[in-house]
Structures are given as structure tokens and as C-alpha cells.
Amino acid sequence: MERRAALKGLAFIAVGAAILPHCKSDPAAIKFENLSGLNTENQKLIQQLSHAIIPVKGTEMAPTMPSDEFILMSVNDCYSPEDQVKFTKGLAEFTALANKKGSDFSVLSPAEQLSLFESAISDQSSENLKMFAKTTKDLTLRNVTTSQIFMEKYRAFKMLPGTYVACKSMS
């Protein structure tokens, strides 16, 4: 009787292990539900763009939260639905602009990445593309400049305005 129960349990485990790899989904689509059409390639592009704006990856100034997650979380949670649509349309336009260069954004040199970004932020580009570029730049700067490491080491910020010294000589 116990052998049947053991074989039945083993069969359930084997079937579950066979089905489990086919059940995964795109994590970006689940995490940022207000940003329609967002996939892992777009998230990787935003990550590369934020590193092109401020190259802090691998340095002591790198914030604890990655810039791409901070940008997408901020746009997903704090921006109006109209601005979210503009951001995703601008992301699509920036992807098309990067593909016009003939290669992937990550293959471009840092100077070419910055020139592509500056062309996206210029006055000749569309409203959606400008909104995407300015939002990405502003949120990348905010993520880095409000991190604990940056505030303590580069701004000499202290949580308290001053310390209280009870026993201090008057002379």
C-alpha cells in the first residue's frame, strides 16, 4: 500500500518537473503592469542608456537599486497614464532610432551612445522621444544623487543637523 503512494507521489513530482520550465513568463511584464509592451529587451536598453548617462556601474558610487528598475518603477507607479503611454512610445521610437544606426545600442561606443541620446533629447525629435529621454535622464540622476553612498561620501550629508555634546568646557 505504501509503495503505491510513493509511486503516485513520484509521478506527480516528475510531471511537475516536466511542466515547470514551460510555465515561466516575462518578469518585466509582471513587474510593471502599467507600462504596456515592456519586455526584457526594453529593460536592458534602459539599463544601458542609464549607464551611458552616468557610468557608475562597478564603482563605489553605484546606487543600491539599479537605475533601470528605479526608472521603470517610478514611471509605472508615479506618472499619469498619459505620461506612461508617452514614455512607452518614446521608448519604441528610441529603439527604432538606435536600430537606424545599424547595430544594437550596446555595440555602440560610449561616445556614439551619448550622441544618439543627445539627438533624442534635441528639439528636432518628437514629443514622445523627448519625454522619454528627459525622463530617463532625470530619473537616472535622481537615483544616483539620492543614494546613501553619494549623500554621505560626496555631499558630506549627516542625518542630524548637529550632535549634542553635554560636557563641554566653556573656556
Do the domain assignments include residue 159? no
Amino acid at 79: Y
Do the domain assignments include residue 15? no
139: enclosing H helix or E strand? helix 127-145
**Looking at residue 96, what is its pLDDT?**
86
What distance in Å separates the CA atoms of residue 147 and residue 149, rounded to the nearest whole number?
6
Number of domains in the chain: 1
What distance in Å separates the CA atoms of residue 100 and residue 123, rounded to the nearest whole number?
19
Do the domain assignments include residue 16? no
Do the domain assignments include residue 79? yes
Do the domain assignments include residue 158? no
- pTM greater than 0.85 (yes/no): no
The least confident of 20-24, 94-98, 128-132 is: 20-24
Banded model confidence at residue 40, pLDDT cuts 50, 70, 90: confident
Q: Report whether pLDDT(29) > 60.
A: no
Cell digits of residue 117: 541620446
**Range 40-53 average pLDDT:** 87
Do the domain assignments include residue 67? yes
**Looking at residue 151, what is its pLDDT?**
81
Distances (CA, A) of 149 to 50, 54, 59, 62: 18, 15, 11, 8
Q: Which domain holds residue 118?
A: 37-153
Model confidence over 87-116: pLDDT tens digits?
999 999 888 888 887 677 778 888 888 888
Q: Report whether pLDDT(18) > 80.
A: no
Do the domain assignments include residue 135? yes
Do the domain assignments include residue 132? yes
What distance in Å separates the CA atoms of residue 162 and residue 168, rounded to the nearest whole number?
15
**Looking at residue 84, what is its pLDDT?**
92
**For residues 25 and 64, which has the higher predicted lDDT (pLDDT)?**
64
